Amino acid sequence: MTTPEPPPLAPLPPAAGPGDAERRLHPASWLFVLLQNLRQFIVPLIVLLVAGRRADDGPAWLPLIGIGTLVAVSVWQYLTFRYRIADDRLVVRSGLLERSVRQIPYSRIHNVAIHQSLLHRLVGVAEVRLESAGGTRPEAQMRVLRLPEALALEQLIRDRGRTDDAGSPQPASAATPGDTLLALSTAEVVKLGLISNRGMIVVAGALALAFQALPDRTAGRWLVEGGREAFGYANAFAATWMAKTLVLAGAVALALLAIRAFSVALALVRYHGFRLLRQGRRLTVERGLLSRSRSSVPRRRIQAWTLREGVLHRLFARRTLEIDTASARGSDGQGQQDGRGLDALAPIATAATCDAIVRDVAALAHWPPTHWQPLHRRAWLRLALGAWLPTTVLCLVLGWFFGRWGLLGLLWLPWSAFVAHRHAARAGYAIDTAMVAVREGWWRRHWRFAEIGKLQAVELRQSPLDRWTGMAALWLDTAGAQPLAPPLRLRFVPLAEAERLHAALSREIARRPLRW
């Protein structure tokens, strides 16, 4: 299924000086700001509406006042927002009573994100978000611009903000479509939906919301009644306990299949038409079925990499490649988890494709490492002790209250020892003059690596169990990290080796300039 080509770029001035006129947003911008505000305040408005209906003399017009206030605020924001394009920066002016003028150099913009919901696409507009490193929110968020103007602004920032690794400006070039590093077909997106667990997460969130929002334990009552009806159907179709068990197991299997189908649908909505493009020194990701998003980031802003491989990944011979960038986090502190940021370069791809992207983008000629250093020879014991101690204490407490039945949890100890042994046998680390890499996990595997020039600090840690077993851990910090990304750390290393690596990496970090 082909992805439609973007519309032609609207003309922007080659240079803008102090005397150039400021630009407004799209005339329908206030409507999209209103819709965003309604999403944030929908719960309080519903509470006011319900309270107004329940009270005998309650103020039922309170929700209307709230909506009217949001409309006034949205129109106010549209009327007071201006932006101007200068030679080396973007100037954003907003506010009337409390005025602000924000000047954003093009070279400091790390990520340009263009988002189109279904309503955006119907109106022919897009939301533009400009992010820089380390901020708690975007430097500028324009709701909304005409789509050609949004794409032209993205191209202008890409050209005028182009710098080399030393930070020197590079000359602008004509817009190019870029080289496609990865394009996901519909079949690959379906595999991604089967692998991911997003459908289960959404269903669990919906159940939690139902328990909180519905009055008088309505959700719990529905679940109990549904369970009784299901058990009644099982009694009607089966006479023996074995047959009833099979019927109920089939019902659970159908529910799991429905949830997995829901995961596939969510993957199609989010990743349909996924393309990873290399456009000069920037990477651009396009994706989405109903809502289209386009996000780009300079390659040198990538701070760390993560390869993931779960059980279902191995079933389909696929992996996921994610990155950490030094771009702004969302106002909620959750980073780019709203689905608009450039976080996954390859949501699903073969191992060879992921490795090729790493070698191309990170310029790591020796990825993957040919030799991994093993952990301490007793690393499995250190891992097992971390599980044995709390499990034993918990089982002893349960045994005190429930007798021998409470001690059945001790049967978990052999399995945890087996898992620890498998984990320690597979884990390892690799360090050379260019990068630091760690691999961990057995059931669910991941590889975590970063260029040495991206490291900010290295810390040597020892827990009481580490000191008892003669081990240590090295924790490495970079400029940015995804909230759900595993930490970059070398665990269960012999103490003498950890101290040597700590000293060597500290010298390298102090000697090399930070590249972010």
Burial of residue 56, with CB atoms counted within 10 A of its CB: 0-12 exposed, 13-18 middle, 19 or more buried: exposed
Q: 437 forms bridges with which residues in the sheet?
A: 430, 449
Residue 34, both tokens: 């209103």
The pLDDT value given to residue 182: 95
pLDDT digits (tens, 9 = 90+) for 386-428: 888 888 888 888 888 888 887 888 888 899 999 999 999 999 9
Task: Residue count of the chain, please give it.
Answer: 516
With a cut of 60, say whether residue 93 has pLDDT above it. Answer: yes
pLDDT digits (tens, 9 = 90+) for 173-191: 444 567 899 999 999 999 9
> In Å, how far are 273, 436, 492, 509 from 476, measured between CA atoms?
36, 9, 15, 11
Tell me which DSSP letter residue 217 carries. T
| Placement of tokens 């450039």 in the chain | 342
Half-sphere exposure of 492 (CA within 13 A, CB side): 26
The pLDDT value given to residue 18: 41
With a cut of 60, say whether residue 483 has pLDDT above it. Answer: yes
Q: Which of 1-15, 215-229, 361-375 has the lowest mean pLDDT?
A: 1-15
Phi, psi of 166 (to 5 degrees): -85, -5
- Nearest in space to 139 (alpha carbons), one of 94, 109, 167: 109
> For residue 21, what are the contacts with CB-CB under 8 A and spacing of at least 6?
84
pLDDT digits (tens, 9 = 90+) for 55-68: 455 555 666 777 78
The pLDDT value given to residue 175: 46
The pLDDT value given to residue 229: 67
Sequence ranges of the domains in the chain: 194-271, 379-423
Mean pLDDT across the chain, nearest whole number?
Answer: 80
